[in-house]
Amino acid sequence: MLKLHLPLVYLCLYLGFISAQQYITICPANVGCMKGRYMNGYQSDKFEAFLGIPYAEPPLGQRRFRSPVWKPKWDHIIDASLAKPDCIQKNYLLPTPIVYGEEDCLYLNIYRPVLRAGLLPVMVYIHGGGFFSGSASPIITGPEYIMDTGEVILVTMAYRLGALGFLSTGDANMPGNFGLKDQHLVFKWIQNHIEAFDGDKRKVTIFGQSAGAVATHLHMLNPNSENLFHNVISMSGTANVPFAITQNPLEQARKTAELCEIPNAKKLSTAELTKALREVDVLKLINAGDGLKYWDVDPLTNYRPVVERAGPDSIITADPEVLMKRNYQRRPWLIGTVPEEGAVRAINILENSRLLDSFNTYFDYLLRELMEWPNRYSQGQKGHKTAVVVTEYFRGVWSLRKTNKQGLLDSISDRGFRHPLYKALQQHYQYRGQLSWYSHFMYSFNYKGPISYASLFTQANVTGKYGVVHCDDLLYLFRTPLLFPDFDKKSTEAKVIDRFVNYIVNFARYGFTIDAPPVGACGYQVLAARPHGICDYHEFVNNASNPFGYEIRVNSNFPTEYVRLWQELLDEKNNK
C-alpha cells in the first residue's frame, strides 16, 4: 500500500513535540489496553492524552467507499502516545496544494484532566477544511486551551476526506457521505466507551468549524443521530451553505473515473464503476480532483455530501433546505461567525496578481460560478442575478479595481455564510412552532489579534491588512504550533483565550452561555419584528480602554444589509 507521509517540517516538529513524555495505561472494557501519555497545558499543569485510538477498521481495499466498520477489541497494548497521520488529502486552501496523509486514518484522540471528580461532560470536535482537508492532530488542533479548564473531556477525530469521503454514484453501490458516517460512528463509539475515560455519555456536545460546522448541523437534522449528543456548536457554517451538497454525484463519479483512466467510465454500471474506483491507486484518485476545477482551485470543494436514500446509516435523506423545515432535534445550539468569512477564498485572488488579472479577464463567468447559483436556474437567470450582484457589490463595474475589491470578499461572505446562517435561524424558529424547544445562542468573534489565518490563504504578506477572517476564532480555541507561534502567557490574547474557551466550554457543560452579558429572549416573533432578523448575540471585540484589552458585549444589529437581497435572489418565486 502506498504510504504518503506529512511534510518534513511536520514530522520534525512532531518529533520535538513528543519528547520527554511520560506514559499512562488504560484498559477500557470492550476496547483494549492503550498506552497514552501526559501533555503540558498552556497555562496549567499536565493532562492525559490518548492519541491514535482506532475506532473503525482501516477503510482499505473492499472497505473503500463503504460505511465504516467497528474496530473490534484488541488483546494487546497499543501505543496511544503518538497521533496518527491525517487522512490523505490535497489541501486547496494553501497557495501550493500538496498531497499528504494516509488512507488508513480512522482514529480519534481523547484528552482528559488528571484530576476528575466523577464523570465529566464530553466535547467532540469535527475539524473543518471544506470536506477535502483538515487535521485532528494536536499540532493543528491542540487541546491545551480547552484542557486548561479541567472541566471537560475532549475528543478529536479524523474522518475520510475528498473523494474517499464523499464520492458517490447516487445509489446503494456507492451511497456517499462516508466522512459523515465516520463521524456518526465516533458518536456511537463515545456512547459505548467514553465512560471508561470518565466521560459522561449523557452530556456530549458536538462542535465544529467551517465544514465541521456544516457537519454538526447536518447531524442535528438527522433522526438517526437521536440521543447521540446533547448540545451543538456550529462555528462558521450551517447545513445550507452552497458547498454542502453535490447536485449530480453520478456524473461527478464518472468524470472522476475518466480522470483516473478507467476505460468506458461513461458506460459502466454503477456497480462496475464502484469496483473499478476501489482499485485505483490512492494518489491518482486524490489528484483526479484537479481535473474537476473550472479555474485555479475552484470549486474549492469538489466532493461534497449527497442526498441519499433513507436507511439505518443514512445521514442526509433530503436537501438540507427541506430537512431544516421538518427534522430538527431539540438541542441547545450555539452558532458562531466572524466578520470576514469570505476571506478564505477572496484573499488569494485579491493578493495574487496572476489570479487577479485572470479573474478580471473572465470576470462574468468566474463571478457567476463563484456564486454557485442553484441548478434550478437557467443560464439566463444566473446571468441576471449575477448582474444584480455586480450592481450591489462591485458598483456596477465588471472587474476588480481598488475601489470595489471589498465587493468580492463581501459577496462571498454573504452568499457563502451570512445568508445561510440567517435562513437557518429563520427555519429553526419557524419549525419550533409551539413545541417545547431549546434556545439558540450566537456569537460573533470580532477580536483582531497580531496573527491571522489570512497569512495562510495567500503567499503575499497581508499581516494586519484584513480584519477577522474565516478560522481566526480557532486561534483562541485550539493551540496550533505547526502554523503559529504561541501567544505570550501574559498577553491580551491569552486573556481572550481564557474567556473564549470558557464561553465555549461552559455552553458544553450547561447548554447555555454563562459568564457573559445576558442576551434578550428570542423567538420567531422577535425575529420577524426586527429589520435585520437576528436575535441578540455576543460579540468578542477589541477595547483598548478596557483593562483586559477586550470585551464581550451584546449586540442586536447583525450585518444583514444584503441578506434580504439574497432572499430575493434565491427565492424560487423570483426566478427572473
Among residues 533, 512, 537, 436, the alpha carbon closest in space to that of 233 is found at 512
The set of residues, in sequence order, having a beta carbon less than 8 Å from that of 264 and lying 6+ positions away, is none
Q: Any residues with CB less than 8 A from the CB of 190 and at least 6 apart, and which? A: 122, 124, 155, 199, 201, 204, 228
Question: Going by C-beta distance under 8 Å and a sequence separation of 6 or more, which residues neighbour residue 525?
Answer: none
Place of cell 458598483: 395
User: β-strands 199-209, 231-235: how paired?
Assistant: parallel
Q: Name all contacts of 270-279 with Cβ < 8 Å and 24+ positions apart.
A: 270/169, 270/170, 270/171, 270/173, 270/174, 271/173, 273/169, 273/173, 273/174, 274/65, 274/169, 274/173, 274/174, 277/64, 277/65, 277/167, 277/174, 277/253, 278/61, 278/62, 278/64, 278/65
Type of residue numbered 17:
F
Q: Which residues are catalytic?
A: 210, 341, 470
Q: Do the Cβ atoms of 237 and 128 come closer than 8 Å? A: yes
The answer to whether 86 and 6 are in contact (CB under 8 A) is yes
The Cα 211–Cα 518 span in angstroms is: 29
Cell of 88: 490523505
Residues for the chain: how many in total?
A: 576
Q: Which residue has the cell 473564549?
A: 500
Q: How many helices (H) and strands (E) does the chain have?
A: 18, 15
